[in-house]
Amino acid sequence: MSEPAIVTACLVGAEVSREQTPYLPITADEIAAEAAACRKAGAAMVHLHVREPDGKPSQSAELFAAAIREIRRRTDVIVQVSTGGAVGMGVDERCGPLTLRGELRPEMATLTTGTVNFGDDVFSNPRPLIRDIARRIRECGAVPEIECFDAGMVDEARALAGEGLLALPAHFDFVLGVPGALAATPEAVRFLVSRLPEGCSWTVAAMGRHELPFAKLALELGGNARVGLEDNIYLSKGVLAKGSHELVAKVAEVAKELGRPLATPDEARQRLRIPAL
Ligand code: KMH
Ligand code: ZN
């Protein structure tokens, strides 16, 4: 029997706008409804950003608290918060969700292990800042997901582990196809997987039209999948997804064809070494 695949739904992001798609969830209620629909479609985890009421990206602890409260009231998915936020945010702002404690504490948080061009912007992650965020994730009691936009970021994760700032094995997300960073190619996926420290799990977040084909490739290679409006708003050419749940449903079909069962949130918690809340 093959290993259950963990499907992550990236519901919101910081870049997509309501002008691009009317299906982008913005309020806590909309985000939680989408999280519940994704769980029903097969997701075990949501990757979470939040927005101000006018749609502006935010890392406000209050907005995260409202979204997490509402998600946990409706469903049992793992909540993974972004510490990347939007380009240009400072470290305290980015780490807003890591200040949450108690029943609103995030179970997972992203940790990007390097600086990268991000379209015409720069997603800035100097080494001292990476270490600062790694410490804050640990203090919060969350488990990191290592976000790698380029190959050297896998090596930086090894360095962090050597410094005692990261526990291995860990869970990695290979973010492919951001303009200015590593392109989405099967060779890149195979190389990144070959560079992983022993025992690590991994997923692929491929941008735009690459999202679904690379989710399939990841499942074929024994990895996990991430899909959602943060990375891609289309279900097929010219057809907007009516929410991330439609993209999750597509991945669930593919997983079934490939003979990969889908992990429940509790199975995923066990695999990702997430302690009980
Ligand atoms: N919005 C990007 C600049 C993360 O969530 O940690 C960073 C990002 C990664 O989305
Ligand atoms: Zn994100």
Residue closest via CA to ligand 1's atom 6 equals: 84
- In the chain, the amino acid numbered 160 is L
HEC string of 95-157 equals: CHHHHCCHHHCCCEEEEECCCEEECCEEECCCHHHHHHHHHHHHHHCCEEEEEECCCHHHHHH
Point out the ligand nearest to the CA of residue 178. Answer: 1
Q: Which atom of ligand 1 is nearest to the CA of 121?
A: 3
**Does residue 1 register a pLDDT over 80?**
no
Q: Which atom of ligand 1 is nearest to the CA of 123?
A: 3
Residue 109 · residue 98 · CB < 8 Å: yes
Q: What is the mean pLDDT of the chain?
A: 98
**Does residue 248 register a pLDDT over 80?**
yes
Point out the ligand nearest to the CA of residue 116. Answer: 1
Q: Using CB atoms within 10 Å of the CB of residue 110, give its burial: 0 to 12 exposed, 13 to 18 middle, 19+ buried.
A: buried
Tell how far the Cα of 82 is from the centroid of ligand 2, in angstroms.
5
Ligand 1: residues within 6 Å at CB?
Answer: 14, 82-84, 86-87, 110, 112, 118, 123, 147
Q: Is the pTM of this model over 0.85?
A: yes
**Does residue 23 register a pLDDT over 80?**
yes
pLDDT tens, residue by residue, 67-126: 999 999 999 999 999 999 999 999 999 999 999 999 999 999 999 999 999 999 999 999
Pocket test for ligand 1, best of 94, 112, 136, 146 (most atoms within 8 A of CB): 112
Pocket test for ligand 1, best of 147, 148, 178 (most atoms within 8 A of CB): 147
